Structure 1
């Protein structure tokens, strides 16, 4: 059977074999292959009923894969792009906030061996962390080398 003749359900299963996908992602990726209206929705309904599509697993998968290297705002962006429930995304991101500074320190430590020597280096290090979705105040504290202290703020 040629790849062109694979059913929508088969295509969805092939995608799901690689990693967890949300229903919205599968809808977006497979809509071009739908030959009859409603065919894709029916296939996705069947897969969801059998537990192949599970939004909670998608959420946990993204958190597990990405939270060590990215800040809460970037993780939120990725989860929203997958079309997940906004309430579930908000709860997951709120759980990341407590470890934001520690995660930012670890990302910074792996990339830069020493504190910035001058303003240009400081800006470079700050940009690096900001583009990974860490908050501005956390980035300032990490790059300045202010020790992690639970009694503050």
Structure 2
């Protein structure tokens, strides 16, 4: 009896993409895990039915290499405009920029196998001070009363991915006006 397979890799990928944008690497990893899980379940079912023991490569033996199959699905999705790393990057930056600094955003994008292009990196750099001031203002609303409070605020802001220089400027100034005009030469 052939292993039980997901309805269709293409259908499952489209379902995930309908929920939110995914990077190519992220979707590839999810699809490969799906195939591995279905192969393990099929092997367990075959062993439970008294059939011959199948190893973890059962799925590959019957249907070819799972990585090749997944890459073909990903290529089809990209060709038909369903999967786009540029769209994923834009979506992720838009969702994260109000709460996180440039370092945190870039780190998260790297985890998904994508990087910011030069224009997007420059746009984030130009707004980092204003974004940091807004995050600081929402969280604290005012300057700390003592040095320990300032250190706590700085640690929070650096943890959010803002550069130490920007954090220092925000904390020292008590939160510069958020008008989008950054006179720094960073």
What TM-score comes out, normalization by structure 2 length? 0.73
1:1-153 equivalence runs, <5 A:
5-34=6-35, 35=59, 36-37=64-65, 38-84=68-114, 86=115, 88-145=116-173, 147=176, 150-153=182-185
Which has the greater radius of gyration? 2
Distance 1:42-1:111 versus aligned 2 partners, 3 A rule: same
1:18 and 1:63 map into 2 onto residues whose CA distance is: 17
* Worse overlay, 122-131 or 6-15: 6-15
Aligned length: 149
Deviation sequence 1:80-114 (CA, Å, 0-9, x none): 11112x4x445422220011100000000000021
Shift of residue 50, structure 1, vs aligned partner: 0.6
RMSD, aligned α-carbons = 2.0
1:122 and 1:107 map into 2 onto residues whose CA distance is: 15
* Worse overlay, 72-81 or 143-152: 143-152
Question: Does the CA contact (< 8 Å) of 1:79 and 1:89 recur in 2?
Answer: no
Secondary structure of 1:128's aligned partner: helix
Secondary structure of 1:99's aligned partner: helix
Question: Does the CA contact (< 8 Å) of 2:21 and 2:88 recur in 1?
Answer: yes
